């Protein structure tokens, strides 16, 4: 897949130069240098993103689209330029196919609501066992309200989707297939192009949750041929409260709007309304202006770097951590699919994941512990929770070593 952003690439990947751009990495936690290894939950922000939002507020802020004064026009241009940047980042030719949302969760809710009228009792929606709750709960709404039947692609012991079972699940009642591109627990990168082709052959709408994948690999939505593809900003080194949904024009025309209010309408009368053209039809009210501009700045910042170099760096840190952790007695890696992303979920026999995370925090190492909003996955694996270290562009081999050393101390303390 190719990334179509036109930002000039920096020559060579310099981890020290990268880290200097993140002010928060200079702080100490419990008198230790911060080692932030919770990037799958939310990533830290570089100065260019922080400054872009601050400068917009300080020098050129107004509401967008309908104003006629200078500040409104400048803000509208910056806001819509961010939509163009998202489109290019995802390999989408037309910015009108990009809908701004609060994040991937809202995007998936928008889709579920927008397609609700197309679902009849007994229609089937195929998900996978590794989905985040954001790609499960909205479809339960259609189960409750429309009589849809939810079916789940099983996960193998290694952490792959069982595609043979998936093929057998498809049929004339299959209306929607919605799967995660990269698991936030297992790190598995799913073959979404193949999954989508099979869905389309059955006449189903194909949806991809790209929340994790957009941070770790180049995305070309046109090559994937997803009908809908969502992403979120705060994991891509951008602000919270902003995400994006790509929707094919034919799907936009079929979807009913999720929210009503200003901007999403063309005309309002006492007895009827006419809706605005997409994407504005799906963006009611004052949008997350500053957040969208921050997302555009994050894409500019991230696109300086070569994806292959980021991938190689993140994988080197991940692989180093795994190799060191394998020497620890009772260590169990959760998810061993080939070519997985840099997400390290694990358990230590006899020790609760929450206890591990709390002890590591005493040494300045930030990881996540729990079910990671994937309860069906945990149930399928026969576990209650995991500890999870997730690596990003600014993490180092030294931080991986600190994770290992801190874990050894935690085991000694808790055993």
Active site residues: 373
User: HSE on the CB side for 409, CA within 13 Å?
Assistant: 15
> Chain centroid to CA 130: how far?
14
Q: Give start and end residues of each alpha helix (H) in 204-278.
A: 213-216, 221-224, 249-254
Strands 124-128, 174-180: pairing kind:
parallel
Contact, 189 vs 340, CB < 8 A?
yes
d(CA 170, CA 374): 23
Which candidate, 345, 363, 343, places its Cα nearest to that of 410? 363
DSSP 371-398: -TT-HHHHHHHT-S-EEEEE--TT--HH
Length of the chain: 415
Strand, helix or coil for residue 294:
helix
d(CA 192, CA 63): 38
């Amino acid at each position: 897949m190719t990334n179509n952003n036109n930002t000039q690439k920096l020559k060579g990947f310099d981890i020290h130069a990268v880290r200097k751009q993140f002010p928060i990495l200079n702080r100490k936690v419990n008198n230790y240098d911060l080692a932030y290894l919770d990037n799958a939950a939310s990533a830290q922000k570089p100065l260019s993103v922080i400054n872009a939002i601050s400068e917009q507020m300080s020098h050129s802020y107004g509401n967008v689209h309908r104003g006629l004064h200078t500040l409104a026009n400048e803000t509208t241009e910056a806001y819509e330029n961010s939509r163009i940047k998202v489109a290019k980042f995802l390999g989408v030719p037309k910015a009108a196919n990009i809908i701004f949302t609060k994040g991937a969760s809202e995007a998936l809710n928008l889709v579920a609501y927008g397609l609700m009228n197309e679902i009849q009792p007994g229609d089937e929606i195929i998900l996978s066992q590794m989905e985040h709750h954001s790609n499960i709960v909205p479809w339960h709404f259609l189960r409750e309200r429309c009589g849809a039947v939810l079916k789940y692609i099983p996960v193998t012991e290694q952490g792959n989707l069982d595609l043979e079972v998936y093929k057998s699940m498809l049929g004339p009642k299959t209306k929607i297939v919605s799967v995660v591109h990269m698991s936030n627990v297992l790190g598995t990168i799913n073959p979404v192009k193949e999954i989508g082709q099979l869905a389309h052959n059955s006449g189903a709408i194909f949806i991809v949750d790209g929340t994790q994948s957009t941070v770790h690999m180049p995305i070309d939505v046109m090559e994937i041929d997803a009908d809908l593809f969502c992403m979120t900003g705060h994991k891509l080194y951008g602000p919270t409260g902003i995400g994006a949904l790509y929707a094919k024009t034919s799907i936009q025309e079929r979807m009913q709007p999720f929210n009503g209010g200003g901007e999403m309408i063309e005309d309002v009368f006492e007895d009827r309304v006419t809706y605005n053209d997409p994407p504005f039809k799906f963006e009611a009210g004052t949008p997350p202006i500053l957040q969208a501009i921050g997302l555009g700045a994050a894409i500019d910042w991230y696109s300086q770097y070569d994806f292959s170099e980021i991938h190689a760096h993140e994988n080197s840190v991940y692989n180093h951590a795994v190799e060191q952790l394998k020497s620890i007695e009772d260590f169990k890696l959760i998810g061993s699919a080939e070519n997985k992303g840099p997400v390290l979920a694990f358990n230590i026999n006899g020790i609760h994941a929450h206890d591990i995370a709390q002890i590591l925090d005493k040494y300045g190492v930030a990881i996540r512990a729990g079910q990671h909003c994937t309860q069906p996955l945990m149930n399928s694996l026969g576990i209650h929770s995991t500890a999870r270290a997730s690596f990003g562009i600014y993490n180092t081999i030294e931080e991986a070593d600190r994770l290992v050393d801190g874990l050894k101390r935690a085991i000694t303390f808790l055993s």
